[in-house]
Amino acid sequence: MALRGLLERRNYLREFPPPPEGWSLEGHAPCAWLTKDLSDNGVIGDSREASSELGKAIKDELLAHWIKLFSSLLRSNWPPVLI
């Protein structure tokens, strides 16, 4: 009897719904790196081709992606509440 609740919870976790679109249960980014992995001085890339227009375009794309992710999460019933 004492284990009944644990077994029920275990069965519930087995049926845990997948995360909303764009989200993952993998944990850390599967392709994570540190700047020291790429450069001794912390600089990554060549900024000679940079411009304010490119910076704005990158920012706009990043914000659009975040809005899509968080909107997907807010529309979902995830994460489910464990009883």
pLDDT tens digits, residue range 26-45?
Answer: 765 566 678 888 888 878 88
Entry pTM:
0.59
d(CA 83, CA 5): 10
Please check whether residue 34 lies inside any domain of the structure: no
Q: Are 73 and 67 in contact (CB under 8 A)?
A: no
DSSP 48: G
Average pLDDT in the chain? 81
Give me the residue label for tokens 């900024």. 47
Question: Is residue 71 over pLDDT 80?
Answer: yes
Question: Is residue 55 over pLDDT 80?
Answer: yes
Residue numbers of the domain that contains 13: 1-25+51-78
Domain count, the chain: 1
Please check whether residue 68 lies inside any domain of the structure: yes
Question: Is residue 77 over pLDDT 70?
Answer: yes
Please check whether residue 36 lies inside any domain of the structure: no
